[in-house]
């Protein structure tokens, strides 16, 4: 873990970077991880599997930032899947909660109390618009390795129209299995036949996770009908993350052929709505990096750089999901304290 930290410090500090030393430390980190994996007698020791899983996740993250890290990304993403599966099957004790029911177990009470039993009619009408877009790419998605990723989005939307709490549970469960969905995404992005479809569905994901995890909670939880509950602070929204999502969709619009660009209309419209609602905050955000050229270059070379796109959308998803979970728990705690004081 220390070697991995030094390697990442060298990667992020170009003024002191020495490529040879970076690779040496990264090599030590990978060697240490391999030794930990092979030491099967230590797997039952408290903290051992946490170290393995943490190192694997950090290596996935680091690989996604390296132009030549595609093979490493695949390897360590697979390692995350195998380690998580082993922990769950053997019911190993961990500091990191990776059980099949986590994070839903942690959020169950908050979901039941804070999430409304039904969403307002305008929101449901909006979600039906989202569903119609996903329906428009159902057939090609079903015939490709993209289907699990498409299906996870579709299931969440359908449930949100009838049972919002179950809709969010479905979304949380799906994100907890990102490494399984990632395999199909990578295969499709690297396949010239399905690469464009993959971008269209990824664009839908970026739009969907933004409205479902940020916009709907922010504006339905802060509605007049819930004025007795604590309001969510709009300034706490991860604005640079939303900017990043919008930039990817803009880059896709620049590289896709005309017939596929039309399929981005939905995602562009949704992100524009989200950014419009958050306009005051966005205008104050001077830290968002506009790296459009780099994104376009990545999309033009998906056979070698699909891992960079996938790493970025995983970070976007994690940031927005974390904001949602933190906001949910904060509101739950404030609500229960308020009721206890009455």
On whether residue 75 sits in a domain, the answer given is yes
**pLDDT given for residue 209 in this prediction:** 93
Hey, CA dihedral for 118, 120, 121, 122, is it positive or negative? negative
Residue 100 main-chain phi, psi, to 5 deg: -60, -25
Which of the listed residues 28, 57, 90 is the one where a domain comes to its end?
90
On whether residue 17 sits in a domain, the answer given is yes
Q: Which domain holds residue 201?
A: 104-340
Confidence at 96, pLDDT banded by 50, 70, 90: low
Cβ(170)–Cβ(183) below 8 Å: no
Q: In sequence order, which residues have a C-beta less than 8 Å from that of residue 157 and are 6 or more positions away?
A: 127, 130, 131, 134, 167, 208
Give the count of domains, the chain.
2
List, for residues 146-171, the tens digit of each pLDDT value: 999 999 999 999 999 999 999 998 88
Which of the listed residues 90, 122, 151 is the one where a domain comes to its end?
90
**pLDDT given for residue 21 in this prediction:** 67
**pLDDT given for residue 316 in this prediction:** 93
Which of the residue ranges 80-84, 93-97, 286-290 has the most confident prediction, judged by mean pLDDT?
80-84
Helix intervals (H) in 91-177 = 104-114, 121-136, 138-142, 147-162, 164-175
Q: For residue 227, give the 3-state DSSP assignment.
A: coil
Tell me: do 84 and 211 sit in the same domain: no
List, for residues 41-83, the tens digit of each pLDDT value: 898 888 888 888 888 888 888 888 888 889 888 888 888 888 8
Confidence at 267, pLDDT banded by 50, 70, 90: very high
List, for residues 9-47, the tens digit of each pLDDT value: 655 665 555 566 667 777 888 888 889 889 988 988 888
pLDDT higher than 80, residue 243: yes
**pLDDT given for residue 256 in this prediction:** 95
- How far is it, in rounded angstroms, from Cα 218 to Cα 78? 35
On whether residue 127 sits in a domain, the answer given is yes
- How far is it, in rounded angstroms, from Cα 179 to Cα 78? 7
Tell me: do 126 and 234 sit in the same domain: yes
Q: In sequence order, which residues have a C-beta less than 8 Å from that of residue 300 and are 6 or more positions away?
A: 255
- How far is it, in rounded angstroms, from Cα 74 to Cα 77? 5
Torsion angle defined by CA atoms of residues 320, 321, 322 and 325, in that order, rounded to the nearest 10 degrees: 130
- How far is it, in rounded angstroms, from Cα 240 to Cα 287? 7
Confidence at 132, pLDDT banded by 50, 70, 90: very high
**pLDDT given for residue 285 in this prediction:** 47
**pLDDT given for residue 57 in this prediction:** 84
Tell me: do 43 and 128 sit in the same domain: no
Torsion angle defined by CA atoms of residues 18, 21, 26 and 28, in that order, rounded to the nearest 10 degrees: -170
Confidence at 224, pLDDT banded by 50, 70, 90: very low
**pLDDT given for residue 180 in this prediction:** 77
Average predicted confidence (pLDDT) for the chain: 82
On whether residue 9 sits in a domain, the answer given is yes
Q: In sequence order, which residues have a C-beta less than 8 Å from that of residue 285 and are 6 or more positions away?
A: 239, 240, 243
Residue 25 structure tokens? 């430390």
**pLDDT given for residue 288 in this prediction:** 45
Using CA atoms, how far residue 17 sits from 11, 31, 67, in Å, is 6, 21, 16
Tell me: do 239 and 184 sit in the same domain: yes
On whether residue 311 sits in a domain, the answer given is yes
């Amino acid at each position: 873990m220390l070697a991995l930290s030094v390697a990442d410090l060298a990667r992020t500090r170009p003024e002191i970077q020495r490529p040879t030393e970076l690779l040496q430390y990264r090599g030590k980190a990978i060697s240490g991880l391999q030794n930990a994996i092979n030491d099967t007698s230590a797997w039952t020791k408290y903290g051992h599997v946490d170290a393995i899983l943490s190192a694997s996740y950090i290596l996935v993250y680091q690989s996604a930032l390296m132009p030549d890290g595609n093979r490493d990304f695949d390897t360590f993403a697979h390692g995350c899947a195998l380690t998580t599966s082993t922990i769950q099957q053997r019911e190993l004790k961990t500091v990191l909660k990776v059980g099949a029911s986590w994070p839903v177990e942690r959020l169950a009470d908050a979901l039941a109390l804070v999430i409304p039993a039904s969403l307002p009619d305008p929101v449901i009408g909006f979600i039906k618009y989202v569903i119609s877009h996903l329906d428009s790419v159902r057939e090609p998605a079903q015939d490709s390795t993209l289907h699990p990723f498409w299906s996870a989005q579709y299931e969440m939307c359908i449930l949100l129209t009838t049972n919002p709490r179950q809709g969010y549970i479905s979304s949380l469960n799906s994100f907890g299995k990102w490494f399984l969905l990632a395999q199909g995404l990578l295969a499709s992005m690297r396949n010239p036949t399905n690469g464009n479809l993959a971008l269209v569905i990824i664009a839908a994901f970026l739009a969907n996770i933004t409205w479902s995890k940020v916009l709907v909670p922010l504006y339905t939880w802060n509605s007049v009908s819930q004025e007795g509950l604590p309001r969510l602070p709009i300034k706490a929204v991860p604005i640079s993350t939303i900017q990043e999502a919008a930039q990817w969709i803009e880059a896709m619009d620049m590289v896709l052929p005309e017939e596929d660009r039309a399929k981005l209309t939905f995602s562009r419209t949704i992100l524009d709505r989200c950014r419009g609602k958050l306009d005051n905050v966005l205008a104050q955000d001077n830290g968002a990096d506009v790296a459009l050229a780099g994104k376009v270059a990545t999309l033009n070379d998906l056979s070698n750089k699909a891992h960079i796109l996938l790493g970025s959308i995983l970070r976007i998803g994690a940031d927005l999901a974390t904001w949602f979970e933190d906001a949910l728990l904060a509101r739950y705690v404030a609500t229960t304290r308020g009721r206890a004081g009455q």
